[in-house]
């Protein structure tokens, strides 16, 4: 981030804001393996096509997805594959935190139980 202008940092913040909604992360995950149209994404996510279209517009605005018209359908694909590197790093870090927390809670419960038994 060093050397970025305020305008560039604002764009970076918008990029992260686009990733701050679980449905958009779900869409990105579904597009990881293959391109899909709005109807497919809506069905797989369990939302309306209008809702998915709104999320896709935000992802497109920030350069995360690209679209291609094919007849009467519009297909979406990932525009920047590096998004998965970012998501994998963040998800891996969160998983480690959750595992550490669970381990600490288990150790605390065992210590508390042993103390009560004495």
pLDDT at 103: 85
How far, in Å, CA of 110 to CA of 100, rounded?
15
Please, which pLDDT band fits residue 96 given cuts at 50, 70 and 90?
A: confident
CA dihedral 1, 57, 65, 85 (to 10 degrees): 40
- The stretch 21-33 carries a mean pLDDT of 95
Residue 1 has pLDDT above 80, yes or no: no
Judge contact between 15 and 77, C-beta under 8 A. no
| CB contact burial 15-52 (16+ within 10 A = b; e otherwise) | beebbeeeebbbbbebbeeebbbbebbbeebebeeeeb
How far, in Å, CA of 103 to CA of 111, rounded?
12
Per-residue pLDDT tens digits for 68-87 = 999 999 999 999 888 888 88
Considering the segment(s) 1-80 as one domain, its CATH architecture is Orthogonal Bundle (1.10)
Residue-range domain boundaries for the chain: 1-80, 81-118
Residue 105 has pLDDT above 90, yes or no: no
pLDDT, mean over the chain: 90
pLDDT at 90: 87
How far, in Å, CA of 112 to CA of 104, rounded?
12
Residue 116 has pLDDT above 80, yes or no: no
Helix (H, G, I), strand (E, B) or coil at 76: strand
Please, which pLDDT band fits residue 118 given cuts at 50, 70 and 90?
A: low
- The stretch 47-75 carries a mean pLDDT of 95
């Amino acid at each position: 981030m060093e050397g970025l202008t305020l305008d560039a940092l604002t764009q970076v913040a918008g990029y992260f804001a686009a990733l701050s909604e679980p449905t958009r992360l779900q869409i990105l995950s579904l597009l990881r393996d293959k391109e899909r149209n709005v109807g497919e994404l809506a069905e797989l996510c369990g939302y309306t096509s209008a809702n998915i279209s709104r999320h896709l517009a935000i992802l497109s605005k920030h350069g995360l997805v690209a679209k291609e018209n094919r007849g009467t359908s519009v297909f979406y694909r990932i525009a920047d594959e590096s998004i998965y590197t970012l998501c994998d790093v963040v998800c891996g870090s969160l998983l480690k935190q959750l595992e550490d927390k669970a381990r600490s809670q288990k150790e605390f419960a065992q210590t508390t139980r042993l103390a009560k038994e004495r």
